[in-house]
């Protein structure tokens, strides 16, 4: 069984996910194992999510202050072309140009209006200033919770949460990385960018 090692120590997201995917693609037709070293729990979660989405097996164990993940692939990696419904990408915490207070009012109304759609968005992505919308002091948390309850996936960029120093204030959804954001947008039938 082929074994490929990926040293992603010290590498920011989404590099651990990207390098793991590349290593999986390099495995021969009989599959094999990919051993991945990372130094933070966010990378563990992101790699684990990607592995689970592709229905591979993964085990994780702490090694000193790092983590070693072993991905077992029993079949060749296949490119999955699956498309999803509407994805909305929030790169800011206001809607439109002009007065920021009006922009916040409009954005709150926009997100509320999403809760009234017969088919809610498949995925809501939050990055840059939009990352503030999923934090504890956000004025749209109730509507985001309604959307989550209706099946919308909510993901916020971990790098953005770190940049604004609000990772510990994340109040809804999951932490993601830019590669996963790009993948979600690529697989969407429709992308709306705010």
Higher pLDDT, 167 or 18: 167
Helix, strand, coil percentages in the chain from 3-state DSSP, rounded to 5: 40, 30, 30
Maximum alpha-carbon separation in the chain: 61
| Residue 79, pLDDT above cutoff 50 | no
Closest CA to 162 of 144, 172, 179, 175: 175
What pLDDT, on a 0 to 100 scale, did the predictor assign at position 83? 57
Tokens of 146: 């309604």
CATH 3.30.300.30 is right for the domain spanning 84-193: no
Give me the phi and psi of 59, to 5 degrees please. -125, 145
pLDDT averaged over the chain? 90
What pLDDT, on a 0 to 100 scale, did the predictor assign at position 18? 85
| Residue 173, pLDDT above cutoff 70 | yes
Closest CA to 46 of 185, 184, 189: 184
pLDDT, tens digit, 9 for 90 and up, residues 92-151:
999 999 999 999 999 999 999 999 988 999 999 999 999 999 999 999 999 999 999 999
pLDDT, tens digit, 9 for 90 and up, residues 33-59:
999 999 988 889 889 988 888 889 999
Mean pLDDT of 150-156: 96
As its CATH architecture, domain 2-73 has 2-Layer Sandwich (3.30)
Owner of token pair 């809501």: 124
With residue 109 as reference, give the H or E element that holds it. helix 100-115
Mean pLDDT of 173-194: 92
What pLDDT, on a 0 to 100 scale, did the predictor assign at position 34? 94
What pLDDT, on a 0 to 100 scale, did the predictor assign at position 15? 87
Mean pLDDT of 170-183: 93
| Residue 5, pLDDT above cutoff 70 | yes
Domain ranges across the chain: 2-73, 84-193
Q: How confident is the model at residue 75 (pLDDT cuts 50, 70, 90)?
A: low
Bridge partners, residue 190, by sequence: 86
Q: Do the two domains 2-73 and 84-193 of this chain adopt the same fold?
A: no
What pLDDT, on a 0 to 100 scale, did the predictor assign at position 12? 81
C-beta pairs of 141-149 under 8 Å, 24+ apart in sequence: 141/171, 141/172, 143/108, 143/111, 143/112, 143/114, 143/115, 144/111, 144/172, 144/173, 145/172, 146/115, 147/111, 147/114, 147/115, 147/120, 147/121, 148/172, 148/173
């Amino acid at each position: 069984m082929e074994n490929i090692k990926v040293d992603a120590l010290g590498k920011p997201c989404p590099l651990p996910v990207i390098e793991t995917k590349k290593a999986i693609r390099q495995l021969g037709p009989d599959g094999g194992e990919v051993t991945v070293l990372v130094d933070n729990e966010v990378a563990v979660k992101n790699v684990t999510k990607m592995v689970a989405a592709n229905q591979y097996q993964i085990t994780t164990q702490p090694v000193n202050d790092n983590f070693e993940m072993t991905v077992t692939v029993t079949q060749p990696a296949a490119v999955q072309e699956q498309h999803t419904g509407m994805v909305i990408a929030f790169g800011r915490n206001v809607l439109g140009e002009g007065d920021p207070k009006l922009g916040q009012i409009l954005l709150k109304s926009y997100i509320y209006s999403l809760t009234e759609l017969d088919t809610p968005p498949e995925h809501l992505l939050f990055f840059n200033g939009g990352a503030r919308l999923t934090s504890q002091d956000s004025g749209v948390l109730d509507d985001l919770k309604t959307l989550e309850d209706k099946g919308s996936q909510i993901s916020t960029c971990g790098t953005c949460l770190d940049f604004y120093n609000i990772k510990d204030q994340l109040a809804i959804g999951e932490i993601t990385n830019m590669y996963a954001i790009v993948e979600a947008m690529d697989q969407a039938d429709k992308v709306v960018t705010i």
